[in-house]
Structure 1
Amino acid sequence: MSEQEKLIDEWFHQEEGLTEKQKKIVAAAIESFAAKGYAATSTSEIAKKAGVAEGTIFRHYKTKKELLLAIVAPMMAKFIAPFVINDFNKVLNHDFERFEDFLRAIIENRVKFLIKNMPLFRILIQEIPFQPELREQFKEHIANKIIERFRIIVEHYQAKGQIIEMPPYSVIRLTVSTVFGFIIARYLLIPEAQWDDEEEIERTVHFIMHGLTPPRSQ
């Protein structure tokens, strides 16, 4: 059994009343949504992968969108969100001397987490822009709980003179977009490229700290 299958199985056991057929449907939907996207996946394809009749899906879920929300929303609220918060807090609670050391720890921490949860990450990245319900779930269970902690950390390093004076939420936006830009390119867009992960992490940290301006000659 793969790590992802173990995670899915653990979540299934937390859901009271989920039948064996529902478990197969949900597992097949996660695999298909992650691989092809929600819009390109048909319920007939999910049914075939799950080994059930298509009508069985609609007996449990009225629409394909209801199936998507039945997968992602509870997983975010009951399983993924607590793990994200607890795991992320290991980094947030650590007192790093330099902001760039904090950034390296953040990137390494998120990479390990996302590798372990790649199918769900794919679904979230693909569908959050188009599904308002998922955006609200994400903000409620993950983003809002992390951003305030991040703001305190940014202000801490600004007080130490390691980050320029800029609204903390702008620092957070620029930092998060750069870090996830690397992660999305590395693991979703062009994973087949010849990546030197250690070097790319260093380039990402350097870009956040110094931008693209070359150092001035003495």
Structure 2
Amino acid sequence: MQESYLHELLKVDDQEIRLTEKQAHILAAAIEIFAEKGYAATATSEIAKRAGVAEGTIFRHYPAKKDLLLAIVKPGVLKFAVPVFASNMVEHIFNREFDGFEDLLSVFIYNRLDFARQNVAILRIVLQEFAFHPEIKKTVEESFLEQVYPKIKETITGFQKAGRLKQMPLKTMVRCIVSPILGFIITRFILNPDAEWDEEQEVDNIISFIMKGIEAEA
């Protein structure tokens, strides 16, 4: 995971960010420990030990522990993963014709499961720190509102006009759809990752649950 993540970190905004070997080790160690213990419970001395560097080396590159967190989350997830995910989601999910809303939900859920599976450590860090760092929260929210929400609105409105979905407020509709999906992903990869999961059956159950709440009556 670390090598893949750091590789993407080097390409933020199509500009190469050159890291020294020590910086790369520091970031990789920080990702591991932040994901394991959380930001607040992690000491820079632990990161230094796992990275194989002196603690002073960390502070030469990152004056404060918060700078190290943002060096991981903000450039990597917020400038790369979230905007690219947003544009890719619009391109690969919403810019398609579906026979029914159930088909769209299926593609969307499996898309997000694959994303989460490949980025569990980063997902854990973002979930842990989202509420405590306004910079992270603001960037994620802006990305969603600017790049994803308009396409969601267009798609749902189209199904409503066709009489396929209930005429409920859009924000309520989005909450009804997103909450069970997000809950499943968090449980699947963060809260109970070692359980025996039948993902196909779980996805079918989630889609059925969502559709019972939002599908227009025949």
TM-score by length of 2: 0.89
Matched-pair contact (CA < 8 Å) for 1:34–1:119: yes
Q: What do the CA deviations read for 1:40-80 (whole angstroms, capped 9, x no partner)?
A: 21111110111101111111112111110121111134421
Q: Who is 1:81 aligned against? A: 82
Alignment root-mean-square deviation, CA: 1.7
Question: What residue identity is the alignment partner of 2:4?
Answer: K
Q: Identity across aligned pairs (percent)?
A: 46
Question: Hey, what's the Cα distance between the residues in 2 that align with 1:8 and 1:16?
Answer: 10
SS of 1:178's equivalent? helix
1:101-116 equivalence runs, <5 A: 101-116=103-118
SS of 2:40's equivalent? coil
Q: Who is 1:130 aligned against? A: 132
Match of 1:162 among 147, 164, 179: 164
Cα displacement (A) at 1:38 = 0.9
1:1-218 equivalence runs, <5 A: 4-12=2-10, 14-89=15-90, 90-211=92-213
Question: Hey, what's the Cα distance between the residues in 2 that align with 1:172 and 1:45?
Answer: 41
Matched-pair contact (CA < 8 Å) for 2:93–2:107: yes
Q: Who is 1:215 aligned against? A: none
SS of 1:140's equivalent? helix
Residue segments in structure 2 that go unaligned for 5+ positions in a row: 214-218
Matched-pair contact (CA < 8 Å) for 2:34–2:42: yes
Question: Hey, what's the Cα distance between the residues in 2 that align with 1:22 and 1:175?
Answer: 40
SS of 2:132's equivalent? coil
SS of 1:129's equivalent? helix
Residue segments in structure 1 that go unaligned for 5+ positions in a row: 212-218
Moved segments of 4+, more than 6 Å = none
TM-score by length of 1: 0.89
How many matched pairs? 209
